[in-house]
Amino acid sequence: MKGKVYLVGAGPGDPELLTVKALRLLRTADAVLHDDLVAPEILKLIPSTTQIHNVGKRCGKKKILQGEINFLMIELAASGLRVVRLKSGDPLVFGRAGEEIESLRANNIPFEIVPGVTSALGAAAAAQIPLTHRRASSALVLITAHRASEKDGAEKDATDWSKFVASGATLVIYMPGQNYSDIAKRLAAAGLAGETPCAVISRASTKYQRTHRTTLLDLHRAPQLASPTLLIAGEVVGLADPAAAVEFVIPRLSTRDDSLHPASPFETLLSQAPRRRDEEPMA
């Protein structure tokens, strides 16, 4: 008997941004393999009888190698279990899902991808920044500042980023780290103007979210906000709510305890949804 693996996006942090399907799979999984960045409130939704494995790799500190994660997924599914590989944001955006898909295919393990709200969308929405605007930007580029290897050096990075800057697109930089001086230099070398508005967003969509708005010229002075963070650079940042001055805490719309499960209408919808046949373990 073979089980099945679900590559599931957990969204940026707020449990109410989970899809109905993601929540249903978490509630019915036999095993969950999750990243470090998945919010604790989301992990609380997993039943106590489910196997839970923290397979996070964060800030260059690897608790487990990617090959070991692949092996664990395959072994659990091959034993007939329904396995959820839970990733922060969307599994297909800087989530190494491509490598895991290759391993699952090579071992004939059935799998399905369940998209999630990627951090760029969650952070921009919470900070009220339109990622595109017909008078400011007609394109969006998602890039990462994290480099797996230093072989190519910063010069090649600046050349690559210059194409994005020249397009006039809004740039959303995942994993910018805490050295904003380095990021500012790379963006300036790529041709981004010093007066370009920028926003550093920390812990997007959670009650701990903080946003620092600045310009590229002053980006090096940005405070070191708590990880995870991302950086939005482009004219659209200037279109955010003017009341959101330099630094602020995003208020929660709900007054209920954040440690509780998602609101009752969400739970009711989940309980009424029938389980699909193709989501049962496959022979």
Helix 97-106 to helix 66-78 angle (10° resolution) is 40
Rg, C-alpha atoms of the chain: 20
Tokens in use for 95? 């989530």
Virtual torsion, Cα 91, 95, 96, 102, nearest 10 deg = 0
Tokens 């109410």 belong to which residue? 16
* Closest alpha carbon to 10 in 28, 36, 48: 36
Evaluate whether 133 touches 239 at the Cβ level (below 8 Å): yes
Tokens in use for 176? 């910018």
Please, what's the b/e burial string for 212-245 (b: 16 or more CB within 10 A of its CB; e: otherwise)?
Answer: bbbbbeebeebeebeebbbbbbbbbbbbbeeeee
Q: Which residues contact 58 (CB under 8 A, 6 or more apart)?
A: 35, 36, 37, 227
Q: Which residues are catalytic?
A: 35, 57
Tokens 């999750």 belong to which residue? 34
Q: Which helix (H) or strand (E) holds 145?
A: none
* Closest alpha carbon to 62 in 93, 96, 32: 96
Distance CA 51, CA 194 (A): 50
Distance CA 182, CA 208 (A): 26
